[in-house]
Amino acid sequence: MMWGRVLAALVILLGHAVPILWAAPNVLMIAIDDQNDWIGCLGGHPQARTPNIDLLAARGTLFANTHCQAPLCNPSRSSLLTGLRPSTTGIHGLVPGIRSVDATRNAVTLPQAFRGAGYWTYTCGKVFHDGSLSPKERQAEFATWGPAPGMGRPPKPFAKVPEPRHPAMDWGPFPETESKAADHVIADAAIKALADAPREKPFFIAAGFRLPHVPCYAPQAWFDLFPEDKVQLPPVLETDRDDTPRFSWYLHWKLPEPRLKTLRDQGEWKPLVRAYLASTAFMDAQVGRLLQSLEKSGRSGETIVVLWSDHGYHLGEKLITGKNTLWERSTRVPLVFAGPGIARGARCRRPAELLDIYPTLVEMAGIPMERRPARLEGISLKPQLTDAGAPRDKPAITSHNQGNHAVRDERYRYIRYADGGEELYDMQADPNEWTNLAATAEHSETKARLARWLPRVDVAAAPGSLHRVLIRDGATGAVTWEGQPILPTDPIPTP
């Protein structure tokens, strides 16, 4: 043990102050983009191939009922990294970034907490939302920033979707050479960071993979794992939206992501599902390369590994694709912890939130209280990391713009929209969320119990908010989507 990596504390034992020494653990944080529960160990799709994430879960604790704070990249990542809910900060859209918002302008972020505690900090790929920090702001977060390559583009798109198309709305085998794929480059950078990390101090390395975010590109070999004629489509109920409030459509009113009808009309539903599975498998292989490098470094035994995704993704369920909903496919994400002090082969079914990662890591690392923010809205998962069955009464809460929230406990999902519309699902009896129970008298107590957890602080979108921003005027009931009014008589868009 190197003395530079040792933290000291004093405890009172038999009336005497006795020094106790322990090694500060390293942290390897692996972020995934738009990864829903189509992970082998989560069982979200029967054909999902994620052997490396599954192996990580087998040597650690899998939180099988984890949910994001927002079903959109910037608010989700901003929440995780600051420890504050979107309903507290007003960060609901793809902009602004945390240093442009009063509630988070001076927040001590997760990497800053570790950096301030003497850790060597490094990041590569997508951890903060792309473009959410200026170059000057970035240097105050991680000490060292590695490459964060984009996905690149083939000569022409693969997918047949209506024009004008968003450039990300594509899926197919690309590039030909694996080493040129963005996630391969990001894994290379993280592997080099592991090799370069100083031995005299602990490290905090954060690697953010881009897949399976669209465009869903992966080399041909990964598509070959999923022959198109064998691909299983997710279950869909054609009348699924008949018992959901009209307001549920407003959360994804007009988006680049195509509706299921469009995919069917263009013959692109199965190709998208196949590409998502292939992209997930390719991303998992890069996770495996990184974890194997950690093992070879000889530092695995002193390193906490945490793997998470920022939110989920629909692939036809609820008749849509994309995120921006408060249903299970959009909010449920993988969360795995492994390393010293963490139970092996454990599966926790208590509700957990991405917001819990910050308090968990600083507690597990023994970072002094004065180096932590005074306010973190998540709860440490340390009790469940030693005993997966340890009690936790608090449910998981997901928000998407002001007034729209989902509350998820071990059995039920309750949703309330800004206009008062409601949904309630029994996730044990109805895992596809096909039957809305909100209007049934026998579930009124369940609904009231979950409603008590709705955020009491629920601020409007921060100044400068753009993209995926939905606003309802509480006085008039008027609704705007990305600055454009939605009238009660407007037909629901089908493309």
Mean pLDDT, the chain, integer? 95
> What range does the domain containing 356 cover?
26-154+164-398
Find the mean pLDDT for residues 457-482.
Answer: 98
Residue 431 lies in a domain: no
Kindly tell me if the per-residue pLDDT of 191 is higher than 60: yes
Residue 21 lies in a domain: no
Per-residue confidence band for 7, with pLDDT thresholds at 50, 70 and 90: very low
Find the mean pLDDT for residues 8-15.
Answer: 33
Kindly tell me if the per-residue pLDDT of 18 is higher than 70: no
pLDDT tens profile 393-413: 999 999 999 999 999 999 999
- 314 catalytic per annotation: no
Written as one letter, the residue type at 122 is Y
pLDDT tens profile 103-131: 999 999 999 999 999 999 999 999 999 99
Catalytic residue among 67, 129, 213, 400: 129
Kindly tell me if the per-residue pLDDT of 363 is higher than 60: yes
Question: Is the distance from CB of 308 to CB of 333 less than 8 angstroms?
Answer: yes
Kindly tell me if the per-residue pLDDT of 15 is higher than 90: no
* pLDDT value, residue 22: 45
Residue 218 lies in a domain: yes
pLDDT tens profile 219-229: 999 999 999 99
What are φ and ψ of residue 440, in 5° steps? -85, 135
* pLDDT value, residue 32: 98
Residue 348 lies in a domain: yes
* pLDDT value, residue 370: 87
Going by DSSP bridges, is the β-strand pair 303-309/26-33 parallel, antiparallel, or unpaired? parallel
Per-residue confidence band for 50, with pLDDT thresholds at 50, 70 and 90: very high
* pLDDT value, residue 227: 98
Compute CA distances 235 → 193, 314, 434, whole Å: 42, 11, 10
Which of 383, 334, 340, 391 lies closest to 360 in space, CA to CA? 383
Kindly tell me if the per-residue pLDDT of 345 is higher than 90: yes
* pLDDT value, residue 288: 98
* pLDDT value, residue 8: 37
d(CA 205, CA 191): 10
pLDDT tens profile 421-453: 999 999 999 999 999 999 999 999 999 999 999
d(CA 268, CA 231): 13
Residue 438 lies in a domain: no
Kindly tell me if the per-residue pLDDT of 19 is higher than 70: no
* pLDDT value, residue 308: 99
Catalytic residue among 41, 68, 73, 124: 73
Residue 196 lies in a domain: yes
How many domains, the chain? 1
Beta-ladder partners of 405: 399, 416
Per-residue confidence band for 205, with pLDDT thresholds at 50, 70 and 90: very high
d(CA 101, CA 80): 16
Cα angle value 328/331/336 (rounded, 5°): 110
Residue 32 lies in a domain: yes
* pLDDT value, residue 331: 98
Residue 441 lies in a domain: no
Written as one letter, the residue type at 383 is P
- 216 catalytic per annotation: no
Domain containing 32 — which CATH number?
3.40.720.10
Burial 78-93 (b: 16+ CB within 10 A, else e): bbbbbbbbbbbbbbbb
pLDDT tens profile 236-270: 999 999 999 999 999 999 999 999 999 999 999 99
Find the mean pLDDT for residues 47-54.
Answer: 98
Kindly tell me if the per-residue pLDDT of 26 is higher than 80: yes
